[in-house]
Structures are given as C-alpha cells and as structure tokens.
Chains A and B, each alone.
Chain A
Amino acid sequence: MNELALAIPWLGKRNPAAARWVVVALAVGAPLIAVLFGKTWVRILDFAMLYVMLAIGLNLVVGFAGLLDLGYIAFYAVGAYTFAFLASPHFELHLPFWMVLPLGAAFAALAGVILGLPTLRLRGDYLAIVTLGFGEIVRIFMNNLNHPINITNGPQGINMIDPLVLFGWDISKPLKVGDEITINSLFLYYYVFLAFVVLSVILVQRLQVSRVGRAWAAIRDDELAAKAIGINTRNMKLLAFSLGATFGGVAGGLFAAFQGFVSPESFSLMESIAVLTMIVFGGMGNLAGVIVGALALTALPEVLRHVAVPLQQAAFGQVLLDPEVLRMLLLSLAMIFMMLLRPAGLIPAYSRYSRPELVVGKEAGR
C-alpha cells in the first residue's frame, strides 16, 4: 500500500479546492459588490449564478461526456415552464417549490432521455445539429401553443409566477433582522442560488472522480476502446445527457421563480450558444473553469453596458453599439479566439481524467 501511495500522490484526495475557493469568493463577493457598485449588480450576480448552474450542467454533457449539445437551453425552458405551469395564476395552480422544482428537474431529465435515446449514437457534428433542432422545436412550441388550447400563452409568456417560498419564508420580500438591518431579497435569492451552485459542484465532482466519470472520460477518449472494455456507452451517454438536462431544469425553475415571468424569447438558440461559449471560454471539462467562464461572460456584457454606453455618448455623441450587440460581439469573439488560440479555455482541465478539449468530438471508430 505504501508504494501505491508513493506512486500516486493525489490518491484519496478529491479534486483540489480550486472550485471551492471560487465558491468562497462568491459568497463573500455579493455584499462586497453591493457596497461598492450598487444593488443592480447583485441582481446581475443572481443571473450569473443561474448561468453558472447551466454551465455546470452543459459541462457535464460537453466537457465530461464529449457530446456537443446546441439545444441545451431547451431543458432550461422545460424547468422554467414547469414552474410557471405549476406555480402561477396561469392554470391557477400554486404548488410549493419543493414539489415544483423536483418536478421541473424530472421533466427536464425525461426530455433529455427522450432526446438522447435516438440521437446519442450519431456522430458529433450531426448530434450538434439535431440537438440544435430540438432546442428550436421546443422554442417554437412554446411560442405557438396558445391556440386552439392555450397551454403556454404564446409569445407573451406566463407572468406573476410565484416567488420562491422556502418553508414559509418568502424570499422575494426583504428580510428584517432586528430593527436596523433589512436584507434585500436580491441577496436572499443570491445565497439560495449560491447554495444550489455549491450543491451542484459537490455532486458533479463526486461523479467525476468515480467509475462513472472514468467511463465518460473513456468514451470521450476512444469510444470503441471503451466498448471493448465493457462500458455500456449508450447508457453512459444517456446518463450524462439526462443529468446535464436535470441541472438545466433546476436552474430553469429557479429562473422562473426569480424573474417572475417566462417567455419563449429567453430560450433562444443564442442562449444555448451563450452557455456553450461560457464553458469553451472558461475551460471545458474543468469545474472551476466553467464557473469562471460563466461569471465572466455574464458580468462582462453588463460591465460593458454600463461603461460603453456613456463612453460612446461622450466620444461619438450617440450609441453606435447597444449593449445587446456588445454582448453578441463579445460572445462570438470569445468563442472564435478561444478556439483558435487557446482551445483549452482560460483554466484548462488538467489531467484528472484527461483533457477534454483535446478529445472532444473524436468519432467512434477511428
């Protein structure tokens, strides 16, 4: 046993604390940012947390299992609309969150299985297109299922969604602590989201350092060889796909509760690609990397929005590039440059179970 421990220094230790440090920084970060920059930024951080969850989920699919999903946002939509159906005046249902959130997650997982079963054996680029199509189909249905029977309320979406009520505690209302301190609901949401993010990180890390994670790494590296050592590749891929979808579904439910309304335009192809860009940029396959990527690419456009608009006003007298355009510009350039210059992303996945950016997309049967 000694020689084993000598041979493998990291043995017995989980993935190092990189992801954990990021999380700690985040926990401290919110109040700090609010103090320095104002509450709107906490709201931005809230959305950033949701994107972090999405990035973690998509990372499972793309970074761990090597399956390029371009329609990932569909699972987000499923989670969000489930919450909207079950906890809003739309159908006059107001189920509690501890029922609705898991249901949203379950439906998302189911959607993942339905999508995955026929398609996961397709080769990489075809899978990408088919999943893109799936994402679009979901969006089109959301947009059009308002007649003859009104299910989704079409382009207008569903609003007045119930806020998160945790065991009687409505976190959309500010929290009074004693007589002096009132904590804004944005902070409350932030810490709830952060808790979900931390939970996600823990769960995903556990999977990564297990026989499941190894199987995914094997499939990603050489699917034929993985089959040759007995790995049931179809089931493993389905597992990655539906687990990733589950994360999307949970994030969707949280999104619905937080924003209070959902509409099809939040779930466009651009959003799927935005999440993909975040993980490509941050470092595919590496939890810390994708978290940083998600934060960076959510915050940066907002920073630009606040900086670039007045800047352009001052310099040109008018706004040439509005914030939406800036966001798209930033995302597309981030994607292109990362792929060309540093495909590993900002924080590359060091070889715990291989470097996915090197192997992502290798076809079965070289």
Chain B
Amino acid sequence: MITLLEARGICKRFGGLTALSDVSLTIRKGEVYGLIGPNGAGKTTFFNVLTGAYVPEAGELVFNGSELPLGKPHKVVEAGIARTFQNIRLFRDMTALENVMAGHHIRSRANPFSILLQTQHAKEEERLITERAFELLKYVGIERFADTISKNLSYGDQRRLEIARALATEPQLLALDEPAAGMNATETARLRELVQTIRHDGVTVLLIEHDVKLVMGLCDRLAVLDFGKKIAEDVPAEVQQSEAVIAAYLGGHATPKAGATA
C-alpha cells in the first residue's frame, strides 16, 4: 500500500470565505478514492488546488514522494495528475481524435525545429501519437466517432472523450470531477466499468461524485468534506455509518439510510 498522494493541511480562502480548512488526506496507489460531501463543501475547490488552478493559502501536496508545484497546472500534469471537468471542457470544434491527440502533447518531444524540418523523428512521433490516440478512443469505446467534431457527440460520449483525453497525458492519478453527472443508470454503469478498467490498468482514480450508489460501489475509500473541513476518511461502509456524515447531509438526524443523497 504505497501512498501516491498526500495532502497536508490545505487551506483555501476567497476573500472572507474559507473554502478549504486544514484538509489532509491520503490517496494510495491503485485505489479508487472518492471525495464526497454536500454542495459547496469544497470538493471542486480541492480539485482546483490539486491541479494548480488555485494556489492555497497554506498546506502542501506530496505526490510520489516529491512536493507538487502549486498553482502551475501544466507542471501538475507533467508530474502525472490529470483531471476532467464537472461541465466537460472539450475542444469542441476539434474532432474526437484531435482532442485525444492534443492530450498527448505533453508526453511528446518534437520541437518546432524538428517539425519545420520534418525530421524522421518528428514524423515517427506524429504517427505514434495518432495511433495511440486511436487506441485510447477504443479503450473508452468511442473509436467510431474518431472523425466526428466533438461537440456533436452525445453527452455520455463527450464524457468518455474527456476521460480519454486525460488518459493521453499518461497520468498516475486521474481526477474525475462528477463524471456521472447528468447520466442515466445505463451510462453510469458503463462509466463504472470504465473506471474499474482504468484502475485495473494501474491508474489511481480520485473521484468527486454525488451519485451515492456509484460511489459506494466503486470506491475503495472515501473522504467526506463539509464546509471545507474533512469530517471522515474511511472505507465506504464505515463512512455510511458515521454520524457526522449523516448529520452533514441530512442536517442533524441520526437515521442512517443506505442510499441517502446530498
């Protein structure tokens, strides 16, 4: 059980509002880790701090044993953490394949000179990128849409595409922000399979979700945030019983109910 990511004492304030208060959590390699909590608890803020969109007022992040640069999104991706967005941010006017190929940017080497001169290396790399991108499309199951403009894909397929694009950056940790939002039961089940496949293939997954059934069934461990503080971090079964968690979601009643939603 190797620790992949350790967050220590993360604090984030926006003017007078404290979005995250001394949040510490540990994600182990190879697990599916869920981050849940009522709306406004600070889950997406934590994501944004993790991926460098925000700089925290205090705290640090240790990834793979080294300190993660704060506030520099491209360095975070370089280190091996990739994310998707709650409201899907694809390159809408590019095709599905092009989106995933763009994801390969950071792991490829060709510089402007070799591109201008069309060296053997550049050509070979371009071919590899195209193949790998197509493989990733197959991996998430949308290879038949390779040449389709991504804004024309269905909602569920767009989500998969975004995941494929994130995987193209060869991450060790994949952070998914509400991947099941807006999905019906079938799509959610397919998503669950995809996440399990991803985990099986060696990528650790961090997941924000509101769909409790999905979370309970999929995650190895959960952290619960409420008003910017972590109030629980444990396996799903324990978290479900925790009074603090129930109180946070339901506002003070200690009636545990499986499947209680935010």
Interface residues of A (CB under 8 A from B): 1, 3-4, 7-9, 11, 203, 206-207, 209-212, 214-215, 217-218, 221-222, 224-233, 239, 243, 351, 353-355, 358-359
A3, B101: Cα distance in complex, Å: 17
B90 at the binding interface (Cβ < 8 Å)? yes
The reply to whether A228 and B85 contact each other, CB–CB distance below 8 Å, is yes
Which residues of the partner chain A approach B122 to less than 8 Å between Cβ atoms?
210
Proximity bits, B118-147, A CB within 8 Å = 1, else 0 = 100010011001110010000000011011
Of A7, A11, A207, the most chain B CB neighbours within 10 A belong to: A7
Counting from the closest, the 8 A-B pairs by CB-CB distance are: A230-B77, A230-B106, A354-B93, A225-B89, A221-B91, A227-B73, A7-B146, A210-B115
Subset of 19 A-B contacts with CB under 8 Å: A7-B147, A209-B126, A210-B110, A210-B126, A211-B126, A221-B91, A221-B94, A222-B89, A222-B92, A226-B91, A227-B74, A229-B77, A229-B102, A229-B103, A230-B82, A230-B105, A230-B106, A354-B94, A358-B93
A358, B102: Cα distance in complex, Å: 19
Q: Other than the known A230-B74, A351-B93, what 19 A-B pairs have Cβ atoms closer than 8 Å?
A: A1-B131, A7-B134, A8-B134, A11-B130, A206-B115, A207-B116, A210-B110, A211-B126, A215-B102, A217-B94, A228-B51, A228-B73, A228-B82, A229-B169, A230-B77, A230-B105, A230-B169, A231-B106, A239-B112
A206, B119: Cα distance in complex, Å: 11
The reply to whether B115 and A225 contact each other, CB–CB distance below 8 Å, is no
Given A207-B115, A210-B115, A222-B92: A229 and B126 interface contact (C-beta under 8 Å): no
A9, B95: Cα distance in complex, Å: 13
Chain B interface extent, by class: 35 or more
Given A217-B91, A225-B91: A3 and B112 interface contact (C-beta under 8 Å): no
B160 at the binding interface (Cβ < 8 Å)? no
A12, B90: Cα distance in complex, Å: 24
Which residues of the partner chain A approach B125 to less than 8 Å between Cβ atoms?
211
Which residues of the partner chain A approach B129 to less than 8 Å between Cβ atoms?
211
B226 at the binding interface (Cβ < 8 Å)? no
The reply to whether B94 and A215 contact each other, CB–CB distance below 8 Å, is no
Contact of A211 among B92, B104, B118, B147 (CB under 8 A): B104
The count of A-to-B residue pairs whose CB atoms sit within 8 angstroms is 122
A7, B136: Cα distance in complex, Å: 14
The reply to whether A4 and B131 contact each other, CB–CB distance below 8 Å, is yes
The reply to whether B105 and A215 contact each other, CB–CB distance below 8 Å, is yes
B165 at the binding interface (Cβ < 8 Å)? yes
Which residues of the partner chain A approach B101 to less than 8 Å between Cβ atoms?
211, 214
Interface residues of B in 130-186 (CB under 8 A from A): 130-131, 134, 143-144, 146-147, 149, 165-166, 168-169
Which residues of the partner chain B approach A355 to less than 8 Å between Cβ atoms?
93
Which residues of the partner chain B approach A206 to less than 8 Å between Cβ atoms?
115-116, 118
B225 at the binding interface (Cβ < 8 Å)? no
A7, B97: Cα distance in complex, Å: 10
B3 at the binding interface (Cβ < 8 Å)? no
Contact of A7 among B143, B165, B166 (CB under 8 A): B143
Q: Which residue of chain A lies nearest to B103 when distances are taken between CB atoms in the complex?
A: A229
B83 at the binding interface (Cβ < 8 Å)? yes
The reply to whether B102 and A217 contact each other, CB–CB distance below 8 Å, is yes
B60 at the binding interface (Cβ < 8 Å)? no
B31 at the binding interface (Cβ < 8 Å)? no
B98 at the binding interface (Cβ < 8 Å)? yes
The reply to whether A214 and B98 contact each other, CB–CB distance below 8 Å, is yes
Q: Which residue of chain A lies nearest to B79 when distances are taken between CB atoms in the complex?
A: A230
The reply to whether A354 and B118 contact each other, CB–CB distance below 8 Å, is no
